[in-house]
Structure 1
Amino acid sequence: MIVTSRCKLMKMVSGDFYDVVQIYKDPQVRRYLGGTVNDELLLKNKFEEILSKSKIPRVYFWCVRLIENGQFIGVVSLDQYHDGTNIELSYEFLPQHWGNGYATEVVRRMIHYSFTEIDLPKLVSETQTANASSCKLLERVGMRLENRLMRFGAEQAVYSIERT
């Protein structure tokens, strides 16, 4: 378990399926992520894929919960980036928890964890340029815009931060 001042990040397990499904079914969360996924079989397959990928070295998926009551608020992950070289930091939080600083808190903690506990030299994060809130969050935590590219039918911004 990884802890921030208000959140606990717990390794994703099979019992988290119905919490994680909330992320895939929410149109606000999925607005810049290819849309909602509502097919139950597809959701189960995606979730099983996540659990399977978690067994790969340096690949992690966590459920983010509030310390005060254990309520599920989102997911965060470290996974292989498209370039095959870097590790990507990704996050998705339920809309009712946006604007409270949870994502910033969790992303900062993940950057620290990545550099101090698993000794990564660099992290990247990719988001649609249209997702201004996500771009601002990545800049707020010290990531810098490295590249813009077209992927998934939209312009993407690739941010990065290196261990100092």
Structure 2
Amino acid sequence: MKIYAETKNLILREIVIEDTGDMYRLDSDPLVHKYLGNKPISCMGKARAYVDYIRMQYETYGIGRWAAIEKSTGDWIGWTGLKMNFENEMNGHTDFYDIGYRFMPQYWGKGYATESSIAARDYFFENFTGKKLCGMAELGNGASCRVLEKIGLERKDNFIYEPENIELAWFEKSM
């Protein structure tokens, strides 16, 4: 199992098939999906499909979301990291690199989003030179907007994400 980065509090490693149960616990939680369209998953098959999608990202693009493991407990706390968005047009962009994270609620407010996003940002600019890194957050999710700003992404504009009809803030940074 590949470790992509290590921070003061976290081990950031590849997501493996054995993470499917943890992914289900994360994505079936309505609180986790408050700013994600309020559509938590309801079956293990959807969690497995997401794990398979992430693994495809590793193989195809050399990039993907990472499992976040809390060092002090060894707990799987969610995911963080990068992905290539090649499927959906977002704010007029296609084929772009996206930074994001999703954690179990009991791990919110500990600084893990910023800590892991700094590691992902640094990994991206070390390994994808000359590329642009993008991020998005629902306008009502001020904490996520602040994380994207803290890691150095510049807020460019807002846009409506269809078909959900949700207003998102768009951030980006190039090096």
TM-score normalised to structure 2 length? 0.85
* Deviation (angstroms), 1:70: 1.4
After superposition, give the CA deviation of every residue in 1:2-30 in whole Å (9 maximum; x if it has no partner).
Answer: 10111001100101111111220111111
- Give 1:9's match in structure 2, choosing from 9, 12, 25: 12
1:54 aligns with 2:58: yes
Structure 2 partner of 1:45: 49
Paired residue type of 1:70: G
Does residue 137 of structure 2 align to residue 133 of structure 1?
no
Q: Hey, what does 2:168 align to over in structure 1?
A: 156
Does the Cα contact within 8 Å between 2:61 and 2:84 map onto a contact in 1? no
2:31 to 23, 28, 37: 28
Hey, what's the Cα distance between the residues in 2 that align with 1:31 and 1:127? 12
For 2:129, the equivalent position in structure 1 comes to 119
Residue 104 (1) aligns with residue 114 (2): yes
Matches of 2:9 and 2:130, distance apart in 1 = 25
Q: TM-score, normalised by structure 1?
A: 0.91
Map of 1:87-102 to 2, 5 A cutoff? 87-102=97-112
Cα RMSD of the aligned pairs, angstroms, is: 1.6
Higher mean alpha-carbon deviation, 42-51 vs 28-37, is at: 42-51
Aligned-partner Cα distance in 1 for 2:56–2:132: 24
Gaps of 5+ in 1: none
Structure 1 residue ranges (4+ consecutive) displaced by more than 6 angstroms after TM superposition:
none
Q: Percent identity?
A: 25
Contact 1:59/1:79 (8 A) holds in 2: yes
Q: Deviations over 1:47-80 (max 9, x none)?
A: 3233233321243121000122311111013112
Partner of 1:79 in structure 2? 83
1:129, 1:156 within 8 Å by CA — same for their partners in 2? yes
Structure 2 contact 54–65 (Cα < 8 Å) conserved? yes
